């Protein structure tokens, strides 16, 4: 397959989130024991097909330290976390036909990797395959199915707001409708892990456990999820009177999937795409 370079016009607007209660893996956090459900989360349930996620805006609850034991504050806190759960469920439960088709192909490839004796093709093979091999195989299978799939690498420089970093994931660009803008579907194989926090409260950890490990969805849907979880992280740290690390902030999390510097449709290497600066 010939090497091609595609230019993506990235949007930095943040769409609004939608609504029960109870980490790019970062060197600043220790790895958590995974206590959550299946890799695709509640997307294993019956799926409602629709054109786009809802757009209810969430706002963090302003709190005063003197009111922490006040019944009204406690009630507001409960409502806040209930709302986050409801919005996350609403955003993630809806899906489009395109997303469902891509998700099914991704699931089939991952099932193949789970077969006994299946190892990756790296110099040092890993049982069940390493993450790079998984991404390459998913990308190849999507291409065989007629999708414009690529392996993306995002990079961002150190700034006053947050440290530098990079992240690799998959995407599919659908340009089948000439009358509409291209649709970008993101495939993230470790979504839940990007948001797990060692210092997270029970409420926050319960919310993160609602996330699927493997996310397949349009970029605007992912932006909504980022906003929901980022708002929850901010509230969690405020309740615990702990500083929120810059690598936990919304802009940092968005950079992982929005600041694409490289995109390759060749499944062995990643070719330079476009500088986001």
Residue 3 belongs to a domain: no
> Looking at residue 163, what is its pLDDT?
84
List of E strands, the chain: 48-49, 94-95, 148-156, 165-174, 183-188, 215-218, 260-264
Residue 176 belongs to a domain: yes
Average pLDDT, integer, range 114-125: 64
Residue 84 belongs to a domain: yes
Asked whether the beta carbons of 174 and 167 are under 8 A apart, the reply is: no
Q: Is 214 helix (H, G, I), strand (E, B) or coil?
A: coil
- Quick one: pLDDT band at residue 117, thresholds 50, 70, 90? low
Residue 52 belongs to a domain: no
The whole domain housing 130 covers 41-47+72-264
> Looking at residue 195, what is its pLDDT?
94
Distance CA 98, CA 67 (A): 48
Residue 138 belongs to a domain: yes
Q: How many domains does the chain have?
A: 1
For the segment 12-49, what is each residue's pLDDT rounded down to a tens digit?
Answer: 333 333 334 333 444 444 333 334 544 555 444 433 34
Bigger pLDDT: 72 vs 173: 173
Give the DSSP per-residue string, 228-259. HHHHHHHHHHHHHT-PPPGGGSHHHHHHHHH-
> Looking at residue 236, what is its pLDDT?
92
- Is this model's pTM higher than 0.85 or not? no
The pairing of strands 183-188 and 165-174 is antiparallel
Residue 60 belongs to a domain: no
- The answer to whether the Cα torsion of 112, 113, 118, 120 is positive or negative is positive
- Quick one: pLDDT band at residue 126, thresholds 50, 70, 90? low
Residue 229 belongs to a domain: yes
For the segment 168-218, what is each residue's pLDDT rounded down to a tens digit?
Answer: 999 999 998 888 899 999 999 999 999 999 889 999 999 999 999 999 999
Residue 88 belongs to a domain: yes
């Amino acid at each position: 397959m010939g090497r091609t370079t595609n230019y993506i016009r990235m949007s930095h607007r943040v769409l609004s989130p939608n609504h029960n209660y109870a980490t790019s893996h970062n060197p600043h956090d220790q790895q958590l024991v995974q206590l959550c459900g299946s890799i695709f989360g509640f997307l294993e349930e019956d799926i409602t097909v629709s054109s786009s996620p809802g757009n209810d805006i969430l706002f963090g609850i302003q709190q005063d330290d003197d009111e922490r034991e006040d019944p009204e504050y406690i009630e507001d806190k409960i409502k806040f976390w209930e709302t986050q759960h409801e919005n996350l469920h609403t955003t993630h439960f809806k899906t489009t036909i395109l997303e469902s088709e891509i998700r099914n192909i991704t699931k089939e490839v991952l099932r193949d990797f789970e077969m006994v004796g299946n190892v990756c093709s790296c110099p040092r093979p890993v049982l069940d395959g390493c993450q790079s091999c998984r991404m390459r195989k998913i990308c190849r299978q999507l291409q065989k199915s007629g999708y414009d799939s690529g392996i993306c690498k995002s990079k961002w420089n150190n700034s006053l707001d947050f440290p530098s970093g990079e992240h690799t994931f998959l995407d599919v660009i659908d340009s089948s409708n000439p009358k509409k803008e291209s649709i970008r579907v993101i495939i993230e194989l470790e979504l839940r892990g990007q948001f797990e926090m060692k210092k997270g409260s029970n409420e926050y950890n319960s919310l993160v456990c609602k996330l699927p490990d493997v996310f397949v969805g349009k970029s605007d849907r992912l932006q909504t999820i980022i906003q929901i979880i980022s708002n929850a992280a901010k509230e969690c740290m405020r309740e615990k009177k702990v500083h929120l690390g810059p690598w936990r902030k919304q802009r940092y999390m968005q950079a992982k999937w929005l600041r694409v510097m490289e995109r390759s449709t060749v499944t062995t290497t990643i070719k330079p795409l476009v500088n986001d600066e």
